[in-house]
Structure 1
Amino acid sequence: MKFSVKKLTFFLLLFTSLSFSQSPYGGLAIDANYGISGVKDPGLSDFSHFDFGVRYMFNDLWGLKLDYGQDKFRTQETPTEEGIDISRISAQGYFNLTNIIDSRSYFYSRTFNLMGHAGVGYSMQKSVTIPEGGTDEIGHIIFGITPQFSITDNLAVGLDATGIIHLSQHYWFDGNYTYTSPEFNGSPNATTTFIYNLTLGLSYTFGQQ
């Protein structure tokens, strides 16, 4: 039996495809998370965060993710509602830190994997305190870490800790403009803020494993 270059290439591609298909963290996946939105100053936190995304892992080490998230902050509920609502979209790199550190480790069975993610995005913020104020458009940096446990070959559950840096925020978390808020003594007219999310979520990978 003679092997041509075309046949050898075919078998190599087939082997690579089969190898990737055995990994619960390879291929197309969807993620959904729910949990806490929080900021340190002022001290606000609530179970008001939700996000979902589509992720593609090119191999057992890294991939790309597009996601959408929502946060809600309230400093007053009655007699009138005060606070802000935030929606965001992000593009992130997604990394299997367990395999990057040591692909031959005890955890190579995929029962547990430590995932990391980081990227940039666009946030849209609206004030419920000043509803006529319009939408505040903000660029953000996002990063986080996700311990993930496999339930089946396709389904995993994870805990996620994510931080988001807003680069130029014009509404404070009570819904007022930052330059009229006492925290800034009348200036500046925009500020950099930090938001954190602590969530529990599910991840489903498509395809036969």
Structure 2
Amino acid sequence: MLLSVKKLTFFLLLCSSFAFAQSPYGGFSIDANYGISGVKDPGLSDFSHFDFGVRYMFDDTWGVKLDYGQDKFRTQEAPVEKGINTSRISIQAFSNLTNLIDSRSYFYSRTFNLYAHAGAGYSMQKSVTIPEGGTDEIGHVIFGITPQISLTDNLAIGVDATGIIHFSQHYWFDGSYTYNSPEFNGSPNATSTFIYNFTVGLSYTFGER
């Protein structure tokens, strides 16, 4: 079963309350992004991705991020819709590369900051081509880079490029089973896939810096 957005929102807000209570210097942020979902094979891309999450910085360079994202892939819209819906939750290490390179800088002191993130998580895919096929549960690794510009002391806008590698995926992006492909000879084999996201988003940091 796909995770409920309402339940995840409540969980993330709960995390945010805890982090805010523990962070007088403004190490806690909320992020939200929207943009392109894409895969190289079969060459699909669409403005169908969104994600949101909470981030906690332990110091001026290193932190951790918990995020939830959704993507939609369609190879056919009519007369019969074909494709998959996918959602994921990830835990990632988060680094301010600007401060890592220049130790003299202060936490969020510059207008421009360059961040990197990487981690692992759990993905769920549902085929709209085979609605009775059930949910495909997949492990993934995720990594990306985020240039960000501060608009105010607490609000920043940024772009993000993220890659996600799925392990043991049982649906192609057209919603059909992977083991229907001739190279698998009908055996219930899965495959690894790569998804990319290019997004624009806002980040709000709580607390005084």
TM-score by length of 2: 0.84
CA positional deviation for 1:110: 1.6
Q: Which runs of 5+ in 2 are unaligned?
A: 1-23
Partner of 2:86: 86
Shift of 1:125: 0.3
Kept in 2, the 8 Å contact 1:172–1:181? The answer is no
Q: Does 2:99 correspond to 1:99?
A: yes
Provide the C-alpha distance between the structure 1 equivalents of 2:118 and 2:63, rounded to a whole number of angstroms.
11
Deviations 1:48-88, CA, capped at 9 Å, x for gaps:
00000011011110111110000000000000100000010
- Distance in structure 2 (CA, Å) of the matches to 1:154 and 1:89: 25
What corresponds to 2:70 in structure 1?
70
> Conserved in 2, the CA contact under 8 Å of 1:82 and 1:129?
yes
Q: Residues 132-156 of structure 1, C-alpha deviation per residue, up to 9 Å, x if partnerless?
A: 0000000000000000100001000
For 1:64 and 1:187, the matched residues in 2 are separated by: 40
SS in 2 for 1:84: strand
Cα deviation code 1:114-170 (max 9, x no counterpart): 000000000000000000000000000000000010000100001000000001100
Amino acid at match of 1:149: I
In the alignment, the residues of structure 1 paired with residue 206 and residue 45 of structure 2 have an alpha-carbon distance, to the nearest angstrom, of 34
| RMSD value, Cα | 2.0
Q: Looking at CA atoms only, which structure, 1 or 2, has the larger radius of gyration? A: 1
Contact 1:177–1:189 (CA under 8 A) maintained in structure 2: no
Counterpart of 2:89 in 1: which secondary structure?
strand
Q: How far apart are 1:182 and its partner, in Å?
A: 5.1
Secondary structure of the structure 1 residue equivalent to 2:137: strand
Counterpart of 1:117 in structure 2 is: 117
Partner amino acid, structure 2, of 1:100 = L
Structure 1 residue 102: Cα displacement: 1.7
Q: Whole-Å Cα distance in 1 between the matches of residues 165 and 205 of structure 2?
A: 29
Of stretches 176-185 and 155-164 in structure 1, the one that deviates more from structure 2 is 176-185
Unaligned runs of 5+ in 1: 1-19
1:143 alignment partner in structure 2: 143
Contact residue 74 and residue 174 of structure 1 kept, 8 A: yes
Q: CA deviation at 1:108?
A: 7.5
In the alignment, what sits opposite 1:160?
160
Paired residue total: 186
Q: 1:109 to 1:28 in 2, by over 3 A?
A: closer
Q: d(CA) in 2 for partners of 1:173 and 1:31?
A: 28
Q: Which deviates more, 173-182 or 33-42?
A: 173-182
- Report the counterpart of residue 203 of structure 2 in structure 1: 203
Matches of 1:183 and 1:148 in 2, distance apart?
44
Alignment correspondent of 2:7 = none
Aligned to 2:172: 172
Q: Which moved more, 1:96-105 or 1:147-156?
A: 96-105
- Give the structure 2 partner of residue 46 of structure 1: 46
The TM-score normalised by the length of structure 1 is 0.84
Amino acid at match of 2:96: N
Q: Report the secondary structure of 1:175's partner residue.
A: coil
Q: Give the C-alpha shift of residue 187 in structure 1.
A: 5.7
